[in-house]
Amino acid sequence: MTIRIQRALVSVSDKTGIENFARMLTQMGVALLSTGGTYKAISGAGIAVREVSDYTGFPEMMNGRVKTLHPKIHGGILALRDDDEHVAAMGAHDISGIDLVVVNLYPFEETVAKSGVSRADAVEQIDIGGPSMVRSAAKNHKFVGIVTDPSDYGRVIDAMEQNDGDLGMNLRRELAVKAFGLTARYDAAISRWMFAQEVAEELAPGAFADSFSLAGVKQLEMRYGENPHQKAAFYRYTANSEPSVATAEVLNGKALSYNNIVDIDACLALAKEFTEPFVCVAKHNNPCGAAAAETIELALEQAWAGDPVSAFGSVLAFTRPVNLAAAAFLVDGNRFVEAIIAPSFDDDAFELLTTKPKWGKNVRLLSLGEFDAAGRDAGDIELKKVVGGFLLQGRDLKVAADDELKVATKTQPTAEQLASLRFAEKVSKHVKSNAIVFVKGTRVTGVGAGQMSRVDSTYLAARKSGDEAQGTVMASDAFFPFPDGVETAMDAGVTAILQPGGSMRDQAVIDACDERNVPMVMTGARHFRH
């Protein structure tokens, strides 16, 4: 059955390309209906268009809240053209068929992503008529085309030119799928925002809604996922404006892989713990090196030295722009990284990184803009998918306050040791459990990650540190169940220890430290990353 488009309803918030699209439709003999600002834009361009209120005989009212919610609109969209009863009802009520609906929605997600937006302003950006028309057209895609994305205007015109004004069933079906995806994402964004408001204002902290919807916009179709036999794509949750791998601008390099994105996210999460010049070196979702220093180039050198073997092929996160000195260090010798994310890149640094042999087009450079720990979204959630469902939890943004620290041993830490322990605490939060981090000053010397035994993680951190283990401090993400972990650390040269405490055998662990006059600080806060 040929469905030649004879009438189109056009009502868009995003008016990109709409004048040209409307003009081409009219040139193909399509009659246009429109509303509000869209009507003004089209008619102002000298294009023939009829206002919806003129067609329905019912004026727009309530500041535009009511304009397309009318039987002559939805009857024209929803009518089955091959159903005699539907056709008769259209005739009886003077309803004309609407064969094409061109609608995009009020920018709710973009509005709530801005800082300082009031609840009233956000609510006014909840579209009602738009989603209603989108759903009606998508439901009746057998006869009606629905266009929600300006990037599809060209495809629609091409199809009409090739098929005597008909879109064809395949395209109508594809556009309908896209339309339902849009309304699902839109409603999910509203639901999540409204629940966040309730949590902030009325509900108990940490409360979760009875239902949860997650929706995003596809950013990238990937060659494969974690492994070549797995399909993958990257989606952005548009309501979150926090600087992230999703918001970053890719300046150079090969397409980001699934594993690149996971590693960059993990590396950046650690960098956001610091306001000073800081560099994180991450491999396989764990930091293998990290350092804070007076300059960003020194921080990079010290972070790389934490584990130079693992650093090859790593990803890096900077809290300061990448300068020429840092770039020169990276391209010197046998060094190479997969990706760098930073606030920006100095021009001479960018030129060096993108022209040096082996680096050039390979290294992925992502510009993030300025960021710091204060800009993290405390209301964001972490999600873990399991077969048949998913788990939600709040982000772990906690760092123990000074008055929450408890020195459990007879020996007190020095000011220098305490500062290094606080640095190690932040790093250990971002290491897969069981996590052990050795630190000297404000640089990591060794990391033990992901072991089934905490003492094995301690052995690894000590081995990674080598001779540098002498005089280090150590942080653990969770308590020591036995003294063997701290004994291994002290044997390696650790001079101060930080851990949450909470084991049934805490006293035995404390006694082991007291025997060697090694101070132990307990935070009372576990940072386990399963």
Tell me, what's the pLDDT at 197? 67
DSSP-derived secondary structure for 440-496 = ETTEEEEEE-S-SSHHHHHHHHHHHHGGGGTT-EEEESS--SSTHHHHHHHHHT--E
Q: Stretch 432-455: mean pLDDT, rounded? A: 96
DSSP-based three-state secondary structure for 340: strand
Instruction: Report whether pLDDT(379) > 80.
Output: no
Residue 497's contacts (CB-CB under 8 Å, 6 or more residues apart) are 421, 473, 474, 475, 476, 486, 489, 513, 518, 519, 520, 521
What residue type is assigned to position 382 of the chain?
E
β-sheet bridge partners, residue 217: 236
Please, what is the average pLDDT of the chain?
90
CA triple 39-45-46, angle to 5 deg: 95
397 neighbors 378 (Cβ within 8 angstroms): yes
Strands (DSSP E) contained in 225-374 are 233-236, 249-252, 278-283, 286-292, 314-318, 337-342, 364-367
Measured CA to CA, the distance from residue 396 to residue 275 in angstroms comes to 18
Question: Choosing from 139, 178, 254, 356, which is the catalytic residue?
Answer: 139
Common-topology check for domains 237-372 and 402-522: yes
Compare 322 and 96 and report the one with higher pLDDT. 322
**Structure tokens, 376:** 């993290």
The pLDDT confidence band at residue 301, using thresholds 50, 70 and 90, is very high
State which fold the 237-372 domain adopts: Cytidine Deaminase; domain 2 (3.40.140)
Q: Which of the two residues, 115 and 234, has the higher pLDDT score? A: 234
Whose tokens are 């061109």? That residue is: 102
Residue recorded with tokens 């009409």: 160
Query: What is d(CA 132, CA 97) in angstroms, rounded to the nearest whole number?
Result: 17
Token code pair at residue 35: 């509303």
Question: What is the mean predicted confidence (pLDDT) over 164-171?
Answer: 90
Amino acid code (one letter) for 8 = A
Mean pLDDT of 49-78: 80
pLDDT at 437 over 70: yes
pTM above 0.85, yes or no: no
Does 480 score more than 80 pLDDT?
yes
pLDDT at 411 over 90: yes
Strands annotated E in 237-331 = 249-252, 278-283, 286-292, 314-318
Class of the domain covering 7-192:
alpha beta
| From 142, 178, 284, 356, active-site residue | 284
E strands, 300-361, in order: 314-318, 337-342
Domain covering 402-522 assigned CATH 3.40.50.1260 in the classification: no
* 83-105: average pLDDT: 90
Residues 6+ apart with CB under 8 A from 344: 321, 322, 367, 368, 369
Residue 85 pLDDT exceeds 80: yes
Which pLDDT score is estimated for 198? 61
Confidence band for 56, pLDDT divided at 50, 70 and 90: confident
The answer to whether residues 521 and 405 touch, using CB atoms and an 8 Å cutoff, is: yes
Q: What is the pLDDT of residue 196?
A: 67
Q: CA triplet 205, 207, 210: central angle to 5 degrees?
A: 165
Q: Could you give the percent of the chain with pLDDT greater than 70?
A: 96
Q: What is the pLDDT of residue 64?
A: 65
User: Is 430 a catalytic site residue?
Assistant: no
- pLDDT at residue 207 greater than cutoff 70: no
Assess whether pLDDT exceeds 80 at residue 204.
no
Q: Give yes or no for residue 113 having a pLDDT over 80.
A: no
Model pLDDT, residue 217 = 82
Residues 6+ apart with CB under 8 A from 154: none
Whether the CB-CB separation of 180 and 148 falls below 8 Å is answered with no
**Dihedral pair phi/psi, residue 236, rounded to 5°:** -110, 135
% helix, strand, coil for the chain, step of 5:
40, 20, 40
Q: What is the pLDDT of residue 112?
A: 76
Dihedral sign (CA 308, 309, 312, 315): negative
Question: For residue 473, what pLDDT is reported?
Answer: 98
pLDDT digits (tens, 9 = 90+) for 315-372: 999 999 999 999 999 998 889 999 999 999 999 999 999 999 889 989 999 999 988 7
Residue 407 in tokens: 């020195």
**Burial readout 66-105 (b: 16 or more C-beta within 10 A, e: otherwise):** ebbebebbbbbbbbeeeeeebeeebeeeebebbbbbbbbb
Question: Which pLDDT band holds residue 68 (cuts at 50, 70, 90)?
Answer: confident
Position 141 scores a pLDDT of: 94
Burial of 191 (0-12, 13-18, 19+ CB in 10 A): middle
CA–CA gap between residue 95 and residue 484 (Å, rounded): 82
**Taken in order 236, 395, 528, 523, is the CA torsion positive or negative?**
positive
Q: Which residues have C-beta within 8 Å of that of residue 222, sequence separation ≥ 6?
A: 231, 232, 233, 234, 255, 256, 257, 258
* Amino acid at site 229: H
Residue 215 pLDDT greater than 80, yes or no: no
Domain ranges of the chain: 7-192, 237-372, 402-522
- Span 469-491, mean pLDDT? 96
Q: How confident is the model at residue 224, as a pLDDT?
A: 93
Indicate whether 111 pLDDT > 80.
no
- 384 catalytic, yes or no? no
Average pLDDT value for residue range 227-239: 88
pLDDT band at 2 (very low <50, low <70, confident <90, very high): confident
Beta-carbon count within 10 A of 508 CB: 14
